[in-house]
Structure 1
Amino acid sequence: MFDIGWSELLLIGIVALVVIGPKDLPKVLRGLGAMMSKVRAMASEFQGQFQDAMREAELADLKKEAEKLASSATDAIQNPMQSIRTRSNSPHNRSPLHLPRPTRK
């Protein structure tokens, strides 16, 4: 993460020991550890919320795509039906009615 080697970590430890002192160093390290734990928890929570938002966005896209597919399927069914209705109602396609011939008695 910070790309710190063992030699740099040892140098930071020695400086902290000199500046803070051996008596208060455990308290400071404990506080630093707690703070790092909180930062990691916050980062994990943020990452989880971000992933949830991405999933919701993907679901919204999938929903739109499914609605588009359903609409195109409905159109594919309705367009030929409308064409058939139009042709059957056209005056050119109507056959004349044949009335039965009267029978003689």
Structure 2
Amino acid sequence: MLDFNMSEMVVVAVVALLVIGPKDLPKAMRFVGYWVGRARGVARQFRSGFDSMVREAELAEMEKKWADENARIMREHPTESDKPVTAEPVSLPAPGASEDQSAVTVEPPVIRDETPAAGAPGEPDPKAQS
């Protein structure tokens, strides 16, 4: 990049003092410093934007790799919850039957709510007892 040694800096300072003059030199240095600062700010903003884009691209790539690896692991090692649960009739041998006799089909039990409704016939009303 820009490489200045001490002798070159002295030459630039002497030329600036002669061309600009001692009266306007501080104003010129302030002006140059302002624009150098603005240029550094723009370069810093560009670099941070570029770095964030690179970080986002790397993160998206890593997420894709993790998703692929997770899918591979899930294919190789399925869990019990992944298998569908169905209530199918089960064939069991009849009690006391030998192996050559036919099997008995047992269906899954049906659970019913047997709580009596309030005011059902034959049931005392709980409000009437109070």
TM norm. shorter chain > 0.5? yes
In structure 2, the residue matched to 1:12 is 12
Percent identity over the alignment? Answer: 35
How many angstroms apart in 2 are the aligned matches of 1:32 and 1:11? 17
Which has more strand, going by share of residues? 2
Moved over 4 A (4+): none
Question: Matched residues in 2 for 1:98 and 1:49: separation?
Answer: 79
User: Which residue pairs with 1:42 in the alignment?
Assistant: 42
Q: After superposition, what is the alpha-carbon deviation per residue over 1:1-48, rounded to whole angstroms, capped at 9, x for unaligned?
A: 521111100100111111111111111100001111111111111111
TM-score by length of 2: 0.57
Larger radius of gyration: 2
Structure with greater proportional helix content: 1
Q: Which 5+ residue runs of structure 2 have no aligned equivalent?
A: 79-99, 104-130
The residue aligned with 1:99 is: 102
Aligned to 2:59: 59
Q: Any unmatched runs of 5+ in structure 1?
A: 79-96, 101-105
1:74 is displaced (CA, Å) by: 2.5
Higher relative contact order (CA 8 A, sep 6+): 2
d(CA) in 1 for partners of 2:14, 2:74: 75
Aligned partner of residue 52 in structure 1, secondary structure: helix
1:73 is aligned to: 73
Shift of 1:50: 1.3
TM-score by length of structure 1 reads 0.70
The total of aligned residue pairs comes to 82
Distance 2:43 2:101 in 1: 84
Cα distance 1:98–1:62, how it changes in 2: closer, same or farther (>3 A)? farther
Q: Which amino acid aligns with 2:67?
A: E
Looking at structure 1, the residues matched to 10 and 62 of structure 2 have their Cα atoms a distance apart, in angstroms, of 53
Counterparts of 1:98 and 1:32 in 2: how far apart (Å)? 105
Partner of 1:2: helix, strand, or coil? coil
